[in-house]
Amino acid sequence: MNDVSGTVPLHSPQHVEVLAALRSGRANSRAALANITGLSPTTVAARVDALIEQGHVVETGPGESRGGRRPRHLMIRGDAGLVGCIDLGVDRASFGLVDFAGELITERHAPLDIAADPRAVLSRALKILLDMVDEAKLAGHTRLRGISVGVPGPVSSATSRVISPSRMPGWNGVSVPELMRREIDLPILVNNDANLMAAGELLDGREPIGNQVLVKVGSGIGCGIVCGGALYTGSNGWAGDISHVVVPGAAAVPCSCGRTGCLDALASGNALVREMQVAGTNVQSVEEMIALAQDSHPLATGLLRNAGVMTGGVLATIVNFFNPERLVLGGVLADSSVFVAGVRATLYAECLPMATDQLSIDVAQFAATGGLRGAGRIFLDQLFSADGVRTSA
């Protein structure tokens, strides 16, 4: 057939348009493509032929008739390559392989302490990922074309460097692409974990929704934004970083940022576990705590609800300001119904009815794989764009 893109390849300027439409899932036949791109059927046919010729697209047999001739379904060729996805958490990491069609082929979860030396952490992560690739290859899959990494801290959109991350000691100024490329010659992308989760959870639907917010409450608190149907990362890359918003009227708990009363220091998973420990319980993780709350443990329930209320209080301002149509709660704490109820109650109490009556508040659907899916999606979005994957710096 041929080789599908090397390191920084690009697709012919026009074909991107058709590819993007196909990838969006909103069109899967020549006719539908013509419809949503606005191009003429003739042009679409010509471009699709070229893409098939190049091996990017395949025809997958006839679809259902809608009262006339059956459409000949088209698909992105998934087996053209793999994207390695690494979602680094504070004390564990998730790994996945996404094929070129955007499907998550395999996943793996392993403990990994991010506080260790960045180089060692990335080295270890890369090894795990490459092991997965080896196994997948046995199953007939093709080459790894790039790696997309998520980290629990702010990432500069200009330099791809991690900046002032409160949960990643030793990582300030680190460039993940730079470090990883010392070990492997592939395009590498880094992003904040909440942004990846937003991409995975919110950009997935067939009919994409324009303005949405995803709040990830795990060890820390982060938030990813979708604006106008695309991931929004702000002017410098740290849009959505609400960790250090001061919570009105809360206790003056000291925060890693040097101030007191930050949302992260009060309502994050870490903060809650510490509170449980201070109170004398033997809780080691948020999961344990949520389990306790499900058994009506008074302290755990109270703390979780209160964390929901505090988070909801901050989100109220955001909902008023941003007027999204959908708010999604993700991360470990989203598994706690008490927490979710706290968020919902506070939002409905503190926002004007106007702002909430068209708003849907949901819980993330993909749980532990949302970040991986998002990592794959973002990489592929860039790969299948007019200028290909550029690993900055």
Binding mask 15-34 for DNA (x = CB under 7 A): --------------xxxx--
Rounded Cα–Cα distance for residues 71 and 161 (Å): 46
* Contact of 342 with 334, CB cutoff 8 Å: no
Binding to its own copies by residue 138, rule CB under 8 A? no
* Min CB(2)–its own copies separation in Å: 28
Rounded Cα–Cα distance for residues 3 and 333 (Å): 44
Whether the CA torsion 24, 361, 257, 283 is positive or negative: it is: negative
Binding to DNA by residue 72, rule CB under 7 A? yes
Binding to its own copies by residue 237, rule CB under 8 A? yes
* Min CB(117)–DNA separation in Å: 48
Binding mask 152-191 for its own copies (x = CB under 8 A): --x--------xx---------------------------
* Min CB(13)–DNA separation in Å: 8
Nearer to its own copies, 242 or 266 (CB): 242
Rounded Cα–Cα distance for residues 285 and 291 (Å): 10
* Min CB(271)–its own copies separation in Å: 18
Q: How far is CA 161 from the centre of its chain?
A: 18
Binding to its own copies by residue 254, rule CB under 8 A? no
Report how far apart, in Å, the C-alpha atoms of 285 and of each of 168, 219, 262, 393 are.
18, 9, 21, 37
239 binds, among its own copies, DNA, none (CB under 5 to 8 A by kind): its own copies
Phi first, then psi, for residue 231 (nearest 5°) are: -60, 135
Binding to its own copies by residue 355, rule CB under 8 A? yes
* Min CB(367)–its own copies separation in Å: 24
Containing 33, the helix (H) or strand (E) segment is: helix 30-37
Which of 277, 284, 358, 365 binds its own copies (CB under 8 A)? It is 358
Report how far apart, in Å, the C-alpha atoms of 391 and of each of 60, 91, 155, 383 are.
33, 26, 13, 11
41 binds, among DNA, its own copies, none (CB under 5 to 8 A by kind): DNA
* Min CB(17)–its own copies separation in Å: 14
Nearer to its own copies, 90 or 316 (CB): 316
Binding to its own copies by residue 252, rule CB under 8 A? no
Rounded Cα–Cα distance for residues 197 and 363 (Å): 12
Please give the single-letter amino acid code of residue 290: I
Q: b/e string for 146-173 if b means 16 or more Cβ within 10 A? A: bbbbbbbbbbbbebbbbbebbbbeebee
Options 64-72, 160-168, 178-186, 191-199: segment touching DNA (CB under 7 A): 64-72
Between the two ends of the chain, the Cα-to-Cα distance in Å is: 33
* Min CB(119)–its own copies separation in Å: 24
242 binds, among DNA, its own copies, none (CB under 5 to 8 A by kind): its own copies
Binding to DNA by residue 57, rule CB under 7 A? no
Which of 10, 16, 20, 45 binds DNA (CB under 7 A)? It is 45
SS3 assignment, position 310:
helix
Determine how β-strand 82-88 pairs with β-strand 92-99.
antiparallel
Q: What is the DSSP letter of 247?
A: P
Binding to DNA by residue 54, rule CB under 7 A? no
SS3 assignment, position 373:
helix
Tokens 């993330």 belong to 364
Which of 95, 238, 339, 384 binds its own copies (CB under 8 A)? It is 238
Binding to its own copies by residue 52, rule CB under 8 A? no
Containing 360, the helix (H) or strand (E) segment is: strand 360-363
Please give the residue ranges that form the binding site for DNA (CB under 7 A).
14, 29-32, 38-43, 45-47, 62, 65-72
Please give the residue ranges that form the binding site for its own copies (CB under 8 A).
154, 163-164, 210-211, 223, 225, 227-228, 232-242, 244-249, 257, 313-314, 316-318, 320-325, 350-355, 358
